[in-house]
Amino acid sequence: MGDSAQITRLLGSLRDGDKTVLSEIIPLVYTELHRLADAYLRNERQGHTLQPTALVNEAYMRLAGQEQPQYQNRSHFFGVAAQVMRQILVDYARSRRAAKRGGGQSPLPIEEAIGVPPDDRSQIIVVDDALNDLAKRDPLKARLIELRFFGGMSADEAATYLNIPVNDVRKELRVGQAWLRRELERASGKA
């Protein structure tokens, strides 16, 4: 049985309440999860305490400890995992920011959100706050940005995951990115 078919079968078992299969799913999706984690942490300094492996492990612990959603497919699982990883990074950045005096970093454009430099962890918080504000205004645009920039999904994958036409995904992403860019620039006093 191919990995994709096995993952689908295991997600079905998880959906039916068998939480023990999560330990079988993770080895099958580990490489992809590690790739996502590596993308998040690409610009962190070497020796940073939160390495891709640690991020994947923390995501696994959170996934295992929470009530499991009704996963529709493999893409849905990766969407949830990406959301969990984003929250871990935000929690980490918030705790690091709280440990330092000051904070007050200026926002950065969304294109740079994935590769946040080591000294700019609070920028993750600014992007997260802006995405949360967008989610209140337009949940679809916020979700698409999250899937694309934090989940690494292509427009086609997001379209499949959300069951909407790919052209709609592309249009909503462009509008959402423009709104988010404007808000981040406004927050930094550039607009």
Average pLDDT over residues 3-14: 83
CA atoms of 88 and 131, how far apart (whole Å)? 15
For the chain, the domain total comes to 1
CA atoms of 178 and 6, how far apart (whole Å)? 39
**What pLDDT band is residue 113 in, cutting at 50, 70 and 90?**
very low
- 116 has pLDDT over 50: no
Return the pLDDT at 122.
59
What is the amino acid identity at position 94?
R
CA atoms of 103 and 96, how far apart (whole Å)? 9
Give per-residue pLDDT as tens, 31-80: 888 887 877 676 555 555 677 888 888 888 888 777 777 787 777 788 88
- 165 has pLDDT over 90: yes
Domain of residue 57 covers 3-187
CA atoms of 191 and 185, how far apart (whole Å)? 6
CB 78 within 8 A of CB 148: no
Element (H, E) at 182: helix 166-187
177/190: higher pLDDT? 177
Return the pLDDT at 98.
55
Return the pLDDT at 85.
84
Return the pLDDT at 47.
54
- 26 has pLDDT over 90: no
CB 124 within 8 A of CB 93: yes
CB 124 within 8 A of CB 116: yes
pLDDT above 90 coverage of the chain, percent: 12
CA atoms of 155 and 27, how far apart (whole Å)? 26
**To the nearest whole number, what is the mean pLDDT of the chain?**
76
Return the pLDDT at 17.
80
**What pLDDT band is residue 140 in, cutting at 50, 70 and 90?**
very high
Cα dihedral 119, 144, 75, 61, rounded to 10, equals 40
Return the pLDDT at 96.
67
